[in-house]
Amino acid sequence: MKVFLVEDEIVVREGIKNNIDWQAHGYEFCGEASDGELAFPMIQKLKPDIVITDICMPFMDGLALSRLIKKELPYTEIIVISGYEDFKYAKEGISIGIAQYLLKPVNGDDLIKEVDAIAFKIEENRKEREFKEKYIKEMEDNFLNKRKDLFQYLVTAPKPPAELLEMADQLDIDLSAMWYNILLLKIQSTKYAQNGYSNDVIEIEDRLETIGKARDLLVFDRNPEGKAVLFKADTKEEIIIQQEEYVNEIKKIVKGYENIRYFGGIGEPVNRLTKLPFSFERASHAFAHRYLVEDSLILDSSRITPDIYSNKRDFDIKSMDIKQLDRNKISEFLKFGDKGETNYFIEEFFRDLGNNALSSSMFRQYIIMDIYFCVAEFLEGLSFQRTEIETPDTDPDIMQSEESAISYLNRIIVKALELREKAADNKYGDIVDEVIRYIEENYADNELSLNMLASHVNFSPNHLSMVFAQQVGQTFSRYLTAYRMDKAKELLKCTSKRSSEISREVGYKDPHYFSYLFRKIHGMTPTQYRGGKGAEGED
């Protein structure tokens, strides 16, 4: 640790500097100065761990210097030595945050004892900060899930504004604004068609998130549906400018990559947090077009006009282009769509065909049957029977009107997506079972991580994190920590092993961090737990 001395009396300064073998005691005497004015820039540069300073000095006294140090370097500890016995100086020093107040004369042995005590305190505080940072990092996936939850609450409005603002504040997010709008964005790799993800996509998303933070935008993860960007500003005009600038950034960045497709849907600006669901709904309508067009596009919901549908006129079955009835659009949605988007997708699918496509009873019957067989084929591919969905002949009213036709199609597609999720749950259940087995066999490995497990089951870390949380009900980090802590409690109660041994046996190389984590979770140290303090029902 580095020690810096500030003392105007040269005899005292030389005595402290030379009469103590600083190196032998494990310290580096890194500098000295005769007053606070000279000392402060040196201290800023050297960043000592401990500063020893007199109070009464010319140009800048020790208390004024201490205030500056504590503001600039809050973790630097200060020892004040003074010839003043008046308590007001000690009281002022305490209010500043000095570590110790010593009266002159001070001999070398007494001073080094105080320095040693403060060095111990510094080391303990440093470990505490490191442990806290490590703990926060390990729980980062929980933080990301809380951000997802916040976005979901914002766009569904089940909570009052005050509660939403408080949730945001806990995540260090500033939601206060006069106007808001939402952009839903999906970046895909056309080269990897199975999931549309690649290193290029990750790199683009990271660059866009960095730009978003620099522009005070809020970027939320909607995995696997891409990202949501929340714009906020004082005026509607500023929101529109923000949108245009961010869209230009997207186009500029993506231009430098091959085999990348992007699609975005922009909602309509709103002037209240409680109106964000409307903005989200409009953005979702625009976003649903990603299944209907092949080109990269950012579609503003406020500017959707017939042009987006190739200037289609009223529906005319004689002029109908059979290529417009692209089954692939339905299949694509069945594979990758979300239940919450179904209504938007169906509305936009028929609007794409023409404003009155369903007004023809003949065409209505044809399209209903075609989509029914498309959904049935999709379900059979998942090993489900087509009897899982309604057939068009179950109710004669299905064919009678546009509204009943759309309602029917919405029902069978939603049912298909629910069955798809069920099939995925069964598939992912085996994966998660394997992950849990791996944790039970390898929890003592200090290197055990989400990346290691993802590699073991051939998943991407992000995908595995999402699947694990959905299947188990808690994040990987929380599950692993809880499992290790349960094993630690068992060893504390059933063996006489020392805490440091138990720490290694449950996967923590650093026993100090293990103790910190145990106390953080259970409200007591491992020793207190073993001794029976709060041993019953502490969870």
CA distance 404 to 422: 27
CATH number for the region 2-138 comes to 3.40.50.2300
Rg (CA), the chain: 33
Higher pLDDT, 352 or 383: 383
Closest CA to 223 of 257, 187, 175, 268: 187
Return the domain boundaries, the chain.
2-138, 462-530
At 210, which amino acid appears?
Answer: T
Closest CA to 330 of 311, 310, 355, 350: 350
pLDDT at residue 298 in the model? 92
**272-315 tens-digit pLDDT:** 999 999 999 999 888 888 877 778 889 898 876 544 444 444 55
Higher pLDDT, 229 or 367: 229
Which residues make Cβ contacts (< 8 Å) with residue 19, sequence separation at least 6? 108
CA 526 to chain centre: 31
Which whole number is the average pLDDT over 16-21? 86
CA 336 to chain centre: 23
**481-495 tens-digit pLDDT:** 989 999 999 999 899
Q: Which residues pair with 100 in a beta bridge?
A: 79
Judged by DSSP in three states, 57 sits in coil
Which residues make Cβ contacts (< 8 Å) with residue 216, sequence separation at least 6? 232
**132-182 tens-digit pLDDT:** 777 766 666 667 778 888 998 999 878 888 899 998 988 889 998 999 999
Asked if the model's pLDDT at residue 453 lies above 90, the reply is no
Q: How far is CA 358 from CA 141, 209, 293, 327, in A?
A: 46, 42, 20, 17
Q: 462-530: what fold?
A: Arc Repressor Mutant, subunit A (1.10.10)
Asked if the model's pLDDT at residue 239 lies above 90, the reply is yes
Q: Answer for the pair 266, 147: CB distance below 8 angstroms, yes or no.
A: no
**382-408 tens-digit pLDDT:** 888 888 888 887 777 777 777 888 888
- Tallying the residues shown for the chain, one arrives at 539
Instruction: Report the chain's terminal Cα–Cα distance, integer Å.
Output: 40
Q: In what order do the strands lie in the sheet with 297-300?
A: 218-221, 227-233, 179-189, 260-266, 297-300
pLDDT band with cut points at 50, 70 and 90 for residue 356: low
**428-443 tens-digit pLDDT:** 778 888 999 999 999 9
CA distance 504 to 416: 49
